[in-house]
Structure 1
Amino acid sequence: MTDTLVQDFGKDPIAKRETDHYQKEYIEGFVDKWDDLIDWDARAESEGRFFIDILKARDKHKVLDVAAGTGFHSIQLLKAGFDVTSADGSAEMLAKAFENGRRRDLVLNTVHTDWRWLNKDVHGKFDAIICLGNSFTHLFDEQDRRRTLAEFYAALKWDGILIMDQRNYDAILDGDFSTKHKYYYCGDQVVAEPEHVDDGLARFRYAFPDGAEYHLNMFPIRKAYMRQLMSDVGFQKIKTYGDFQETYQENDPDFFIHVAEKLEDER
């Protein structure tokens, strides 16, 4: 029987650089503690109405949350009146998201899917897709990244938008990482820090007050490369924010948020 409380990275953890391994990283024990890492109340305060305002300003209503995790953004958007479909590649995360919704008298429409074949499992077209929580960097292979973005593109209406975030890997790779731990992972008793970094891997350690420790292996995507990938797939008017701000010093933000459009005139 698989131990759902212990991660298995094998004998050489920094050698684990496969897209599919993330499903083994989000084990039950880690998922159960994920909300302690986020701290929903603190995160809601830190980001305010950023995503709600972007969507409402563009008159977007039908939203696909492709990295729903434990449901934070899906639930925030549902409470704000959006029509939300919540998708994730981790069944454990989706179960937790559904439970979090139920506790708030909300029923999440959840879909377990692999982004690379998103449109096989998620049907219809959406006004907007959100891919948050640094989730895109679980894709280690460039073809996986391009295919996934193409799947996102295909799932959007002609005037749809993609909102995607990522850690500031430029600062991490260049040795300028100094997280403020303020906007995304707001739990003040949890340590979330890079343990190993090279051009092909950013391995993060998550340490909790009770002594529990977990890891995530992710591909460190530079900001310019991410923007280029989005452009290559066909997205236009890509605007990048730093920690929810329009203006910022490049090494300062913990996270970048990209907002890209699938423009109507492409037809």
Structure 2
Amino acid sequence: MAYESSPAAGPPARAVDLRLAGHWLAQHGLTGARPTPLLAARLAVRRRVRLVAQLTPAVLIVASALAARPVFDGPQARRPLPLLALTTLVIGLLLAQALLDRWVRRVDRRAGAALPRRVAHPIRLGRRAVLGRPYTVFVVAAFAGAMALPGSALAIPDPTVRQLAVVVLIGQLGATAIFTMQLRHLLRRPVVAEDEDSLTADVIMRVEDARDLTTPNVQSSLPMVLMFGAAPGWWGAAAVAYLVLSLTASVVLRFKTASSATVARRAMSLR
């Protein structure tokens, strides 16, 4: 008995991935390259991982808000259990991120094993080449501000504000640890390429992944969600200023810095 695919079901997954890979190549100016199964598989797993990873900031913010809720119920409700639960959740998110990174490595390893030959960049692509100085400065400033806000709140004599500051600090430290793990995986990821086009695509993917990591989701929103209104007015003004400046700087970097394809071509010119 013959079976026919339903038009509503759409093309096979591999065909969809190949078509999306072709669009990705055209978007980055690699019009002379053809979408290969290698590139399609690598881009597909990154899309799925990015989709799952987008849940991490939401989970961390919601969990921090739940951990901060007993603070408003009075001194009798301030127990260490919510803080321990939040810390446990942060550890769980770190483990989940490690599993996601392992998934990407497994797909890359499988794709690389199927290549008849492999090429590699002769110069190791470190943080400066992948992330660049402007993004590095932005990341350092964003994380410093994210720590300074709850750190300054610890000096406020109000016990409610101090307790909220501890919750925010745990959340910010968790976000910092997740970012560090992701960046470390990105920089240590082996090159999977079979020719110059796929090598250029590999560098572009690294640059794009690194820039996606710099979006200040948790860093800018967590202090506002938990402490705005409870802390003094000067602290609220500082939190608003930090939120506006970090988001503005992130947008400016996206538009003013060189594209990921340009950065990749510069790196390739060093060969």
**Length-normalised TM-score, structure 1:** 0.24
- Which structure: larger Rg? 2
**Length-normalised TM-score, structure 2:** 0.24
The structure in which a higher percent of residues are strand is: 1
- Looking at both structures, which has the greater relative contact order when contacts are Cα pairs under 8 Å and sequence separation is at least 6? 2
The structure in which a higher percent of residues are helix is: 2
